[in-house]
Amino acid sequence: MPKLLALTGSPSAHSRTAVVADHALRHLTRSHSGFETARLAVRELPAADLLAARRGEPEIRRALEAVAEADGLIIATPVYKASYTGLLKAFLDLLPQDGLVGKTVLPLATGGSLAHVLTIDYALRPVLAALGARHVTAGRFVLDSSVERGSGPDRLRPEADRPPPGRRRVRRRPARREPAARPRCADPRHRAGARHRADRRLVSPPPPLTTRTDKDPPCPQPSPRPPPPGASS
């Protein structure tokens, strides 16, 4: 039976990120039956062993085995200082270099502001790729305000199941085609147009440097003429 592991990297005891990861886990098992599921909250691992990279300690070893045995992973993190958490990184650093080879990964992030909606793509995704994950699905960023916590069971507000505004598909108007800007040239003969360019190709030496200013872009140069047949070099 394929194994699905939800790995969460929040230091919070009452983590919104864990609520989102749970939601995704339930959703996946509802739509694809036959998964064996497990949860791993990095904050529950012994901190000293985690930070000292004691891979052989029983709880760390079991956590690493759980990752090795998983066929698919949900990797969920809150956004901290515009990136994933140091806690998650401390754990990912314990994985072998090929620790995610052959696994499918669904990255998730929660954050307080849409300003960091791209954290998954610019921060987390490169790490997952470095660990060999070949199939990292489109991730999902969820605003923390979409996670309801209170006296009842934690749950996601309906808007959390929709992509945030920055990621919504928008129907774009076709781009207006601007006419290509023509290069400016200080040489008056060049401004005269194509005829001058044709002349130059035949005979003229380059225009004197004194007619140009530093601000002028260089004159477009004609391609060199091939030597006439039989000409000696």
Q: Under the rule (CB under 6 A), what is the footprint of ligand FMN?
A: 10, 12, 15-17, 78-82, 110-113, 116, 144
CA distance from start to end of the chain: 76
Which of 18, 131 has the CB closer to ligand FMN?
A: 18
Which of 112, 188 has the CB closer to ligand FMN?
A: 112
Nearest distance in Å: CB 109, ligand FMN = 8
Is 69 in contact with 115 (CB distance < 8 Å)? no
Nearest distance in Å: CB 141, ligand FMN = 9
8: β partners: 41, 76
Which of 112, 222 has the CB closer to ligand FMN?
A: 112
Q: Which two tokens stand for residue 118?
A: 């791209």
Q: Which two tokens stand for residue 64?
A: 């690493």
Which of 70, 142 has the CB closer to ligand FMN?
A: 142
Nearest distance in Å: CB 26, ligand FMN = 17
Q: Which two tokens stand for residue 171?
A: 């129907």
Nearest distance in Å: CB 146, ligand FMN = 9
Cα dihedral value 26, 27, 32, 34, nearest 10: 0
> Phi/psi zone of residue 130: left (φ > 0), alpha (ψ -120 to 50 degrees), beta?
alpha
Q: Which two tokens stand for residue 46?
A: 């012994």
Which of 20, 105 has the CB closer to ligand FMN?
A: 20
Nearest distance in Å: CB 144, ligand FMN = 3
